[in-house]
Structure 1
Amino acid sequence: MPLLIVDDSRSSRLALETAVRSFAAYELESFGDPLAALERSRDIDFDLVLVDYMMPGLNGVDFIRRLRMQPGYESVPMVMITSQTERSVRLEALDAGATDFLTKPFDPLELQARILNLMALRNAQVELADRARSLDLAFRNASRRADMREQEIIWCLAQAMASRDGNTGDHIERVATVAELIAEGIGLDRLQRRNIYLAAPLHDIGKIGIPDAILQKPGKLTPDEIEQMRQHVPIGVGILRNSSAELSRVAVAIIGGHHEKWDGSGYPQGLSGEEIPIEARIVAVADVFDALCSARPYKPAWSPQKAYDEIIACSGTHFDPACVAAFRRKWSAIRALFDAEAEPVERLPAPVNA
């Protein structure tokens, strides 16, 4: 373990080096210039520091204070060696971050006891830090595996619903990806974007409770059938409402609000403006855009440009103007998803990290 000695007196440095080497085989480096010692401490991580108090240019208290500010030296033991006995000096050193004191001229046995005890403390600190890093790595790996399983479950549920609704997996992939792009465009953080990406495929999960005759009807729905179709929102909310997971909360917000409209003319609650959860406002744009671009039994697919124009035209009425503005900013990336010449969208592309 490397040990640093800082003392402007050459004879004092030699005495300290000799005393330390008499009882331990530490890697010793000693400096008469405290500024040079500070510079060296940026290149090597010392596990113990012995520093004199009275030095020209930079005294021991100032040296300790500056060394404590360097990354990696927050908890390294630092011993100030001084002939000063004033209480004020020791209090100042403690305030700067000194761990212990030795009085000049030092007693070799006292020096040995102090160093061995402090090195044992340092060993315990290093082992604890290594253990913490190991546990953090294990936790991250476990979280990553859990995330992958969570994505697979969400995909299977959304894919099952899409097949009943006459959609393909491409629809839910695109809605998730476009929603994530819009979320990024309005400045949401990584965790928010990730949750929106993962929850967006569940926006129509409530259609599992809607009869096939209505879901797959090739013509226009009757008013009664429209009312039955709208029940997919409370059905979907009911499926996930009792979960305490944050992702489920986001999914419930999306399911319950993606048919609301900015001007209050949507359903099921007639919410308007910022009463609608931001996650639902984002997915509303992504869902309608993809629906316009997709062929249905009752309509042909629109071109991406025509669908884009419709989204822009509905800013401030159907859609949140901020979400539409983000949609416009991300248009080149969104347009590529619908380009016939573009590569197919990969199934569940990796979401942003938490």
Structure 2
Amino acid sequence: MSASERVFDVSGSTILVVDDEPINLEMLERMLVSGGYREVVTTEDPREVEPLVEQHRPDLLLLDLTMPYRDGFQVIEALKARYPGPCDLPPILVLATQQGEEFRHRALEMGARDYVTKPFDRIELLMRVRNLLEVRNSIKVLRDEKRVLESMVVERTREIHDTRLQVVRRLGLAAEYRDNETGMHIVRMSKISELLGRALGMQEEALDLLLNASPMHDIGKIGIPDHVLLKPGKLDEHEFELVKTHAIIGADILSGDDSELMTMAREIALTHHERWDGTGYPHGLQGEEIPLVGRICAVADVFDALTSTRPYKQGWLREDAVEYLRSGAGSQFDPTVVDAFMGRLDEVYAICDEYQDSTGIDDDLLALAEESL
């Protein structure tokens, strides 16, 4: 059924009629039923209105003004207090014997949508009922369609986010496989980065970005020739300058996407080799000129790189790597980040133990690396 068909099909609407005169209720019910409305609820007692509205969720309320216990104005006030949302309260068609404008104006000012006087003209009453129900139904259709669209947007946003994460993870792994047989370095490094970010007070959303952006820190290694990247001995000056270009290469690879994830990944790739004292590369940033995520990843990356065995080196003992970080606080590293690292050594070691390197690459190991990020 199309939206327009749903708008004009009001015969299934629920109508609540409130009038203290039984003869009026009987007459109104007959009029509405003869007009094609199948769900008509009636009451003579205005004190029953709120429970009936709660029970039946009517699409329209026909309300008499002059009644015992509570008049129609008091009923409207009570309903507005209970259902403050503009779409929560059903439209109210006031029924009254009063001809004075002050009654009509007051009822409309209080929120009634229409006003008819007794005795009723059947055709006029049914037309007013239909008009109000069509408006009500239109609002409900639009609200439902809005919910559907919002749900589609959420789903599409999630799909885009998931796709970006897959790109990040696989490119990060591809870069890591250049000089590490398993790619678990980026898992450990990203989880240590998240740990440090949490210790430094980063919010959950930012921590999630950090966890998923940090694996791209060395994506620029893709652009470094194997004979340099995998050289078993010490690099000469020209080779070292060539390796240093991986920060710029990584930032270039990650450019062109302004999402929060890729923006942080680009920032990390560009700045994780900057030094606290300004002697790092590629731009010689100093102190807090270096983004916090770059300072965090510098500590996490260096520790795990030092303790990892690569084709061109043996891994350091953890205690030696910790001492290296301690001695570099204030020169190579942000001392605040190093302090956070030292305060969570047990958790850092637990991450290293859980995500150890293994020899060779297989599907299970690839899945573990991807699922861990």
TM-score band, normalised by shorter chain: 0.7 to 0.9
1:173 to 181, 187, 190: 187
Instruction: State the shift of 1:183 in Å.
Output: 4.5
Aligned to 2:30: 18
Aligned to 1:300: 315
- Calculate the TM-score normalised by the size of structure 2: 0.74
Instruction: State the shift of 1:307 in Å.
Output: 5.5
- Calculate the TM-score normalised by the size of structure 1: 0.78
Q: Distance in 1 between matches of 2:49 and 2:326?
A: 63
Aligned to 1:106: 120
1:166-208 deviations in whole A, cap 9, x for unaligned?
A: 3532122233344345555524253x44433332221111112
Tell whether the 8 Å contact from 2:17 to 2:43 is kept in structure 1 after alignment: yes
Aligned to 2:255: 241
2:40 to 28, 39, 51: 28
* Structure 1 counterpart of 2:53, one-letter code: S
* Structure 1 counterpart of 2:62, one-letter code: L
Aligned to 1:203: 217
Determine if the alignment matches structure 1 residue 38 to structure 2 residue 50: yes
Q: Distance in 1 between matches of 2:126 and 2:47?
A: 27
Q: Sequence identity of aligned pairs in percent? A: 35
Greater CA drift, 288-297 or 159-168? 288-297
- Aligned ranges for residues 273-312 of structure 1 at < 5 Å? 273-296=287-310, 297-303=312-318
Instruction: State the shift of 1:231 in Å.
Output: 1.4
1:298-322 deviations in whole A, cap 9, x for unaligned?
A: 341443x776676677666655567
Could you tell me which runs of 5 or more consecutive residues in structure 2 were left unpaired when the two chains were aligned.
1-12, 357-364
Could you tell me which runs of 5 or more consecutive residues in structure 1 were left unpaired when the two chains were aligned.
none
Determine if the alignment matches structure 1 residue 66 to structure 2 residue 81: yes
1:251 to 236, 242, 265: 265
- The CA RMSD measured in Å over matched residues stands at 3.9
* Structure 2 counterpart of 1:163, one-letter code: Y
SS of equivalent to 1:25: coil
Question: 1:263 and 1:68, CA in 2 relative to 1: closer, same or farther beyond 3 A?
Answer: farther
Instruction: State the shift of 1:126 in Å.
Output: 2.7
Tell whether the 8 Å contact from 2:188 to 2:355 is kept in structure 1 after alignment: no
Determine if the alignment matches structure 1 residue 227 to structure 2 residue 241: yes
How many residue pairs match? The answer is 348
* Structure 2 counterpart of 1:50, one-letter code: L
* Structure ID, larger Rg: 2
Question: 1:110 and 1:188, CA in 2 relative to 1: closer, same or farther beyond 3 A?
Answer: same
Tell whether the 8 Å contact from 2:187 to 2:355 is kept in structure 1 after alignment: no
Aligned to 1:347: 369
Q: Distance in 1 between matches of 2:334 and 2:96?
A: 69
Aligned to 2:8: none
Question: 1:90 and 1:68, CA in 2 relative to 1: closer, same or farther beyond 3 A?
Answer: farther
SS of equivalent to 1:346: helix
Instruction: State the shift of 1:65 in Å.
Output: 2.1
Determine if the alignment matches structure 1 residue 270 to structure 2 residue 284: yes
